[in-house]
C-alpha cells in the first residue's frame, strides 16, 4: 500500500514534486533581480516544489518570471487583452497555414495573435523551459510506450509534472491521475482514465484542433513483400519496426533503404533524442513490444508474473547474445535497472524513478524480481515497453572511465552494443547509418542490411523513392499528403498504403495565466477555431475534426467515447459569451477585459477551473 503523507499526497506525487511543502498558502521565491516584488503564491502547498525546485525553470528562471508576473496582475479599467504569442517550428508548414486562418478569425473577436516561426531546436527549447508564449502548439508522435494513456494524461496535464506546459492544476484531475497510476486492475484503471478525460474536456484545458492526419505512405512494392501495417504507425515507422524484420525481398537485393529528414542526435541511448529512441530500440532490445494491433507482447522478457501489488518477476528470454558475442544474462538486466536508478535522469527516469529494488530470484532460470515504491499500473504498457537491456561488461565502469561525473548523458558511445535485431554498422553523422541484421536474434530480420539515409526535403525524398534509391520514407517524421500520394500512384513499383492515425494537433493555453484563467474566456476561445479548415483544407481531407478534447483519440484503446463534443466554430456564439461575461471592445476592435469592479469576473479568475472543480496552482498577485 502506498504510504500517505499528512496532506494526503502519496509517494508517487511526492516523487514528482520532490519533498512536500508545509505552509497552507505557499510563497514562492522570485528571481533575485526582481527584488521586493510580490512573491508568487499557490492555492495548494503541495505544488510548491514543482515551481521552486525544478532546476532552472519557473521561479528560478528570470525570463519566466518576467513573462508570468504581468499575466497574474489584475487588469486595470479599460485594459485590452494582451497580444497572444504562438511559436511554430519552421518545419511545420501545416501548422502555420492553419494558424494564419485561426489568427484572422481571432481578430474578428478582438484577439491579436503574434504567430512566430522559429527553428525546430528553438521551439523545443521554448516549450521545455515554459517560455513558449501563450499557447503551446504540439502534435503527437506515437511510440510504443505512448500507447499507455499516462504518457499524455500525466505528462501533459498533471499539475505535478513539469511537462504540463499550460500549468493546469485541477485537483480532481490530479487525484484521478494518482489513482490510475496505482491501479493494477486494467478495467478499474480504464474507468479512472476515462473519468480523467471527462474532467480534462469539461474544464476546457487543451484545445484539440484535429485528429491525424492519416498516415499515407508509399513504398517500393516491386522490391519488398510482407510489409506489416501497424495500427497508428503505418508500415515504415522505425518506432514500430515490424516491417524491417518481416519484409521479404522479391529480388536478390537484401539491402533495404529508408529515407528520413534527420538522423541521430546522439548515439548514446541514455542521451537519446527522437531518432535514437526508435533506432536505439532496434539495437538494444526492449523487454516488451507491441504487435500490429498495439497489444503488448513479450520481447526480451519471455514472460512476467505479478507477485503482489508492488512486485513483479521478470523472466529473461533464454539464449540471447549481445552483438559482441557475450551472452545476455539476468545479471545484465539487474545491472541495467540498478544503473538507471542510480544515474539516469532523462527518458528512462520517467518510469524507473518508481523502482524501489531489484533482486535475482533464479540466476539459472533468468528471473529478476522488481519491487516498486507503490502499486504501479504501467508495468506492462510503459515500464516493459520503455526499458532496454544494457551490457554490464561495457557499462559497469564507463562513468569513471570517461570521467563524466554523475551525468550519463555525457557518455560517448561511438558504437552501441546491444542485443537487438540489428547491429550498429557504418555511421556518417547527418548522412547515413547502416544497421546489420543479427541473424542469431530470436526475431531475426529477413533482410541483411537496413540503411537509414538523410534527405532533408520532401521533394528529395519523393524523388529518391521514384528513382528506386530508397524503399520507404520513415513515417514518424513524414507522411504524404493526398496530393503527393496521387503523384506516385501511376508508378508501377510504388504502392500506396493508408493507415488510420492515433495522433493529433492541439493547442495548450497557459491556463494559469490571464486571459485563460477566466473559464468564460476559455469557453468563447474554443468556439474561435475552424477545425474543418485544418482537416479538409490544410490536411487535404486526410485528417478528422476531433470529436472531443482529449489526448486519447478515437481508435486509441483508452479513449473515452462519451465525452462532450468540441465546441463548434461559431464566432457569433463566442462574441455573445464574451459580452455576457463582461468583456467589451475598444474603438480599434480589440477585446477589453471586464472592469475591475466586476465581482463575477474576479471570482472566475480566482477560481480558474469550471465551477465544481478546485484550482490548485498559481494565484493572482495582490
Q: Dump pLDDT digits (tens) for 478-526.
A: 889 999 999 898 899 999 999 988 999 999 999 999 999 999 999 999 9
Q: What is the CATH number of the domain that holds 311?
A: 3.90.76.10
Which whole-number Å values give the CA distances from 165 to 94, 124, 206, 576, in the listed order? Answer: 22, 12, 10, 29
Which whole-number Å values give the CA distances from 557 to 40, 160, 552, in the listed order? Answer: 40, 25, 8
Cell of 385: 515497453
- Please, what sign has the CA dihedral across residues 614, 194, 520, 107? positive
In a domain, 290, yes or no: no
Identify whether residues 350 and 435 lie together within a single domain.
no
- Please, what sign has the CA dihedral across residues 311, 347, 203, 211? negative
Q: What is the CATH number of the domain that holds 223?
A: 3.40.190.10
Alpha-carbon torsion angle 159, 164, 170, 172, nearest 10: -70
Identify whether residues 219 and 207 lie together within a single domain.
no
**Who contacts 457 (Cβ-Cβ below 8 Å, separation ≥6)?**
none
Is residue 190 packed enough to be buried (19+ CB in 10 Å), middle (13-18) or exposed (0-12)? middle
Identify whether residues 83 and 180 lie together within a single domain.
yes
Examine the fold and report which residue of 347, 376, 393 is the final residue of a domain before the chain moves on: 393
Confidence (pTM)? 0.85
pLDDT for 31 beyond 90: no
In a domain, 619, yes or no: no
In a domain, 289, yes or no: no
pLDDT in tens, 292-330: 999 999 999 999 999 999 999 999 999 999 999 999 999
What span, in angstroms and rounded, lies between the C-alpha atoms of 476 and 281? Answer: 15
Which whole-number Å values give the CA distances from 466 to 221, 493, 494, in the listed order? Answer: 12, 8, 8
Q: What is the mean pLDDT of residues 357-361?
A: 98
Examine the fold and report which residue of 473, 499, 525 is the final residue of a domain before the chain moves on: 499
- Mean pLDDT, the chain, rounded, equals 91
Count of domains for the chain: 3
Strand order in the sheet with 311-316: 301-308, 311-316, 367-372, 355-362
Identify whether residues 139 and 166 lie together within a single domain.
yes
Examine the fold and report which residue of 499, 517, 538 is the final residue of a domain before the chain moves on: 499
- Peptide bond before 213: cis, by omega within 30 degrees of 0? yes
Identify whether residues 437 and 550 lie together within a single domain.
no
In a domain, 257, yes or no: yes
Identify whether residues 483 and 549 lie together within a single domain.
no
Contacts 24+ apart (CB under 8 A), 463-470: 464/259, 465/218, 465/219, 465/220, 465/259, 465/494, 466/491, 466/494, 468/220, 468/223, 468/493, 469/257, 470/220, 470/257, 470/258, 470/259
Q: What is the mean pLDDT of residues 599-603?
A: 98
pLDDT for 24 beyond 50: no
In a domain, 552, yes or no: yes
In a domain, 113, yes or no: yes
Strand ranges in 230-374 using DSSP code E only, listed in sequence order: 248-249, 255-260, 288-290, 296-298, 301-308, 311-316, 355-362, 367-372
Q: What is the CATH number of the domain that holds 582?
A: 3.10.105
pLDDT in tens, 450-474: 999 999 888 999 999 999 999 999 9
Whose CA is closest to 231, among 289, 295, 278? 295
Which range marks the domain in which residue 447 is found? 215-261+421-499
Amino acid at each position: 500500500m502506498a504510504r500517505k503523507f499528512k496532506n494526503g499526497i502519496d509517494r508517487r506525487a511526492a516523487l514528482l514534486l520532490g519533498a512536500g511543502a508545509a505552509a497552507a498558502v505557499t510563497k514562492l521565491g522570485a528571481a533575485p533581480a526582481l527584488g521586493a516584488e510580490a512573491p508568487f503564491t499557490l492555492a495548494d502547498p503541495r505544488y510548491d516544489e514543482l515551481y521552486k525546485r525544478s532546476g532552472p525553470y519557473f521561479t528560478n528562471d528570470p525570463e519566466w518570471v518576467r513573462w508570468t508576473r504581468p499575466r497574474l496582475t489584475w487588469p486595470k479599467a479599460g485594459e485590452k487583452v494582451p497580444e497572444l504569442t504562438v511559436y511554430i517550428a519552421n518545419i511545420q508548414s501545416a501548422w502555420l497555414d492553419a494558424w494564419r486562418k485561426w489568427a484572422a478569425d481571432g481578430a474578428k473577436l478582438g484577439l491579436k495573435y503574434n504567430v512566430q516561426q522559429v527553428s525546430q531546436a528553438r521551439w523545443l527549447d521554448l516549450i521545455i523551459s515554459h517560455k513558449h508564449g501563450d499557447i503551446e502548439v504540439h502534435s503527437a508522435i506515437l511510440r510504443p510506450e505512448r500507447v499507455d494513456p499516462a504518457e499524455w494524461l500525466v505528462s501533459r496535464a498533471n499539475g505535478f509534472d513539469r511537462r504540463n506546459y499550460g500549468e493546469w492544476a485541477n485537483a480532481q484531475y490530479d487525484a484521478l491521475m494518482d489513482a490510475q497510476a496505482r491501479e493494477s486492475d486494467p478495467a478499474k484503471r480504464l474507468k479512472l482514465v476515462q473519468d480523467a478525460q471527462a474532467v480534462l474536456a469539461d474544464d476546457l484545458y487543451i484545445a484539440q484542433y484535429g485528429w491525424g492526419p492519416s498516415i499515407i505512405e508509399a513504398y517500393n512494392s516491386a522490391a519488398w513483400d510482407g510489409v506489416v501495417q501497424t495500427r497508428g504507425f503505418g508500415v515504415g515507422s522505425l518506432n514500430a519496426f515490424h516491417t524491417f524484420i518481416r519484409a521479404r525481398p522479391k529480388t536478390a537485393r537484401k539491402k533495404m533503404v529508408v529515407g528520413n529528414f534527420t538522423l541521430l542526435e546522439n548515439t548514446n541511448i541514455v542521451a537519446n533524442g527522437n531518432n535514437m529512441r526508435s533506432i536505439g530500440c532496434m539495437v538494444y532490445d526492449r523487454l516488451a513490444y507491441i504487435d500490429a494491433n498495439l497489444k503488448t507482447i513479450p520481447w526480451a522478457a519471455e514472460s512476467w508474473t505479478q507477485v503482489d501489488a508492488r512486485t513483479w518477476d521478470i523472466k529473461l528470454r533464454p539464449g540471447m547474445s549481445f552483438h559482441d558475442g557475450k551472452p545476455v544474462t539476468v545479471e545484465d538486466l539487474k545491472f541495467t535497472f540498478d544503473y538507471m536508478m542510480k544515474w539516469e535522469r532523462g527518458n528512462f527516469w520517467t518510469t524507473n524513478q518508481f523502482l524501489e529494488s531489484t533482486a535475482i530470484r533464479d540466476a539459472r532460470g533468468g528471473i529478476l524480481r522488481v519491487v516498486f515504491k507503490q502499486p504501479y499500473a504501467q508495468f506492462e504498457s510503459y515500464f516493459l515497453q520503455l526499458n532496454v537491456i544494457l551490457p554490464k561488461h561495457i557499462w559497469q565502469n564507463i562513468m569513471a572511465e570517461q570521467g563524466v561525473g554523475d551525468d550519463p548523458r555525457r557518455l560517448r558511445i561511438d558504437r552501441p552494443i546491444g542485443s537487438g535485431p540489428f547491429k550498429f554498422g557504418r555511421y556518417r553523422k547527418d548522412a547515413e547509418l547502416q544497421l546489420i541484421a543479427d541473424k542469431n536474434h530470436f526475431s531475426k530480420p529477413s533482410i541483411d542490411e537496413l540503411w537509414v539515409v538523410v534527405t532533408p526535403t520532401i521533394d528529395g525524398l519523393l524523388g529518391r523513392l521514384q528513382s528506386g534509391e530508397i524503399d520507404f520514407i520513415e513515417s514518424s517524421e513524414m507522411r504524404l499528403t493526398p496530393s503527393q500520394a496521387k503523384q506516385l500512384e501511376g508508378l508501377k513499383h510504388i504502392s500506396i498504403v493508408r493507415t488510420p492515425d492515433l495522433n493529433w494537433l492541439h493547442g495548450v493555453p497557459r491556463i494559469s495565466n490571464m486571459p485563460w484563467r477566466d473559464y468564460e474566456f476559455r469557453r468563447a476561445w474554443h468556439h474561435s477555431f475552424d477545425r474543418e479548415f485544418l482537416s479538409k483544407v490544410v490536411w487535404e481531407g486526410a485528417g478528422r475534426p476531433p470529436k472531443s478534447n482529449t489526448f486519447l483519440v478515437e481508435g486509441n484503446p483508452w479513449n473515452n467515447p462519451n465525452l462532450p463534443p468540441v465546441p463548434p466554430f461559431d464566432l457569433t456564439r463566442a462574441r455573445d459569451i464574451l459580452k455576457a461575461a463582461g468583456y467589451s471592445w475598444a474603438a480599434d476592435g480589440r477585446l477589453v477585459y471586464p472592469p475591475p469592479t466586476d465581482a463575477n469576473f474576479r471570482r472566475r479568475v480566482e477560481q480558474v477551473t469550471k465551477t465544481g472543480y478546485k484550482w490548485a496552482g498559481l494565484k493572482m498577485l495582490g
